[in-house]
Amino acid sequence: MLSARLHQSIPRSLLPSIRLAIFAFTFFAAATVPSRAQQSTDILPLSEVRPGMQGYAYTIFAGDQVEKFDLEVLGIMPNFLGPKQSIILVQLKGPKVEHTGVVAGMSGSPVYLDGRLAGALSLKLGIFTKEPIAGVTPIADVLNPPVQSSAPQPAQSSQNLPQQLSPSSLPNEPSSSSANNFAAQQITLPSGSALEPIETPLVFSGFQASALRQFSSQLQSYGFVAAQGGTAAPRPDDSQLKPGDMAGMVLVQGDASINSACTVTAVQADRVFLCGHPFLSLGDVQLPMARSRVLTTLSSDMASTKIVNVGGSIGTITGDHLTAVTGKLGTPPAMIPLELTLSVAGAEKQLHFQLVNHPRLTPILVALTTFSGLTQNSLYGEGTTLHLSGEIQLKNHTPVLIENTFAPGDALSPDGLPIALTMQSIFSRLFTNNFEATAIERVSLRVESVPGRHSFTIESAWLEKGEAAPGETLRVRVLLRSYRGPAQVQGTTVRVPDQVTRGTMLRVLVSDADMLNRASRGFAATGAGASASLDQLIALLNRERRNDRLYVGLFAPSPTMLWEDKELPNVPLSQINIVDGRPAPGTVQVLRESLSSESSIPLGGPVAGVISLNLQIR
């Protein structure tokens, strides 16, 4: 009655405007409801989740707009991820998710039931499925992933986002291979019936597919799902995260970038919880965290994925655990600067990158970045001999010096691949040492390119005469065959030691660098097993011979004892018997020969081959 009276008292000319205002107010009020629910700090315990419950989740399909989609609880799967690690099985509903299915990059999307935060979308069921069915990690497990060392936090109400659950409720720390073991077990399940983690895209910007193809087997062994993307300029609001936004790890940045991207589940003060499952099960880490911007969502019957650009750094990823990736807003940790200089016929170009400092990630990231920076450049060309030089600067240690030459081979692999694999090997040896954490401050590399293949093979060698006296200098000649070129003879000398006993038979080894390294150092030539400190490992690396030289070594038939990084030639057997057994197992190696003298000839290209000659001492 009252509304009728008001309607009669309002002039007809104002009615359309009033109706429009009422509609706008109603639309605005309805639009703000999801925002309030999305920001809700109330949580729903797993014990209150029931089949048939209706809920919703938030994610970004395009742009910066966090969108809501509906879902229904199908049931709970107890102990799915492990003891006391249950998941909630849900079916996604709505036009978009029914069209795209469960999307790579959607992991971590906050799930609400009865208006309370219930968990994070983390798993998907099979491929080519007709219904988008997903798994949800319960919110208690997301907000309280395994933590090794953190200061105790004050307790809070169970109805709010807790700082930390009681120690008795913390799940056990998964091993670094737990994710891979779990994936391996799923292979035996019937196709389409396995619940697997939603892919976290590893976004490559500045990398061509041909570059990634060379490392595809290694990337797959890590569980990476490669996706191409770009970089976006940092914005002032990058750090203003809310549930449903996207963020991830920064692995490489600079003239090319590699980043992961997944959805934010919850933000509490400066703490960020995302993904709902591990990235690589790295445990406690210190890796840069960056904002991700979604361009669009690519729908695919096999694997839908988000196409993203990586924004500015916003803090630190602090944990990569079974039930969540965690981060802290603020200043990101320092990265390793890598400078790559390319030189061809006087023209130079410099590339700058920054890489994370992590023993499992840095070696392959160095290889990927070096290979891509080298081969995807206008100064690079196949069929060239490449000379690599540079140094790796370490905190409180002598730099590791790098110098080697690589010539194109007859295989179809790119010429720059051996350089990338060499850098990966050096970094692997540094990071897998058993002595101390490796803190790398800077990497400087320079690659000079010379047209053509400059490589040499040792075909034969001979001595100036078949016998020599103690203290005599002996001339050695070597016949070398250059690639598709004429043979050439090179000569050098070696000196017979004064203390050699007359009648002794010496061995003259004409070889490449690798064979002389092995003959004089044994297993210590290629590993860190004989080192007792990082300094000694660096010394071994810096003493390794260059592959663009022809070497001649003179070996005497007396034992050499290799103890850590020390070479003790001509050691009497009685002393070896006394010392052997005292050092730690594996730190002492005894060779049957001692390198008495050596010489080398620089040739400007890789040398391969070995010839052994006998020399009688008269």
Half-sphere exposure of residue 55, counting CA atoms within 13 Å on the CB side? 30
Residue 585 reports pLDDT greater than 80: no
Closest residue by Cα to residue 386 from 344, 353, 428: 344
DSSP string, 309-363: EEEEEEEEEEEE-SS-EEEEESPPPP-EEEEEEEEETTEEEEEEEEE---TTTHH
Residues 461 and 542 in one domain: yes
Q: Is residue 225 part of a domain?
A: no
Last residue of a domain, one of 451, 477, 492: 451
Q: Is residue 493 part of a domain?
A: yes
How far apart are the C-alpha atoms of 57 and 63, rounded to whole Å?
17
Q: What percent of the chain has pLDDT over 90?
A: 42
Residue 398 belongs to domain spanning: 336-451
Q: pTM of the full predicted structure?
A: 0.76
**Tens of pLDDT, residues 483-504:** 988 899 999 999 998 888 888 8
Residue 555's SS3 state is strand
The distance of Cα 544 from the centroid of its chain, to the nearest Å, equals 27
How far apart are the C-alpha atoms of 106 and 197, rounded to whole Å?
11
Neighbours of 318 (CB within 10 A): 19
Residues 442 and 475 in one domain: no
What is the mean pLDDT of the segment spanning 198-219? 83
pLDDT at 458: 96
The distance of Cα 106 from the centroid of its chain, to the nearest Å, equals 22
Residues 502 and 420 in one domain: no
Residues 446 and 580 in one domain: no
Range of 179-183, 319-323, 455-459 with top mean pLDDT: 455-459
Residues 447 and 467 in one domain: no
Question: Residue 247: enclosing H or E segment and its boundaries?
Answer: strand 246-254
Residues 465 and 601 in one domain: yes
Residue 25 reports pLDDT greater than 60: no
How many structural domains is the chain composed of?
3
Provide the pLDDT confidence category of residue 76 given band limits of 50, 70 and 90: very high
Range of 197-206, 378-387, 507-516, 567-576 with top mean pLDDT: 507-516
Residues 590 and 498 in one domain: yes
Domain CATH code at residue 399:
3.10.20
Q: Is residue 64 part of a domain?
A: no
Q: Is residue 267 part of a domain?
A: no
Residues 445 and 460 in one domain: no
Q: Is residue 345 part of a domain?
A: yes
DSSP string, 72-116: EEEEEEEEEEETTEEEEEEEEESHHHHHH-SPBT-TT-EEEETTE
**Tens of pLDDT, residues 505-555:** 999 999 999 999 888 876 555 544 456 688 888 988 898 899 999 999 999
Token pair recorded at residue 180: 């891979």
Q: Is residue 475 part of a domain?
A: yes
Residues 467 and 606 in one domain: yes
DSSP string, 410-444: SSSS-TTHHHHHHHHHHHHHHHT-SSS---EEEEE
pLDDT at 171: 33
Residue 524's SS3 state is helix
Range of 20-24, 34-38, 326-330, 534-538 with top mean pLDDT: 326-330
Q: Is residue 423 part of a domain?
A: yes
Residues 473 and 553 in one domain: yes
Last residue of a domain, one of 401, 434, 451: 451
Q: Which residue has the higher pLDDT, 574 or 9?
A: 574
Q: Residue 464 has what DSSP assignment?
A: S
Residues 411 and 373 in one domain: yes
Arithmetic mean of pLDDT over the chain: 80
Q: Is residue 541 part of a domain?
A: yes
Residues 381 and 355 in one domain: yes
Last residue of a domain, one of 451, 473, 505: 451
pLDDT at 401: 95
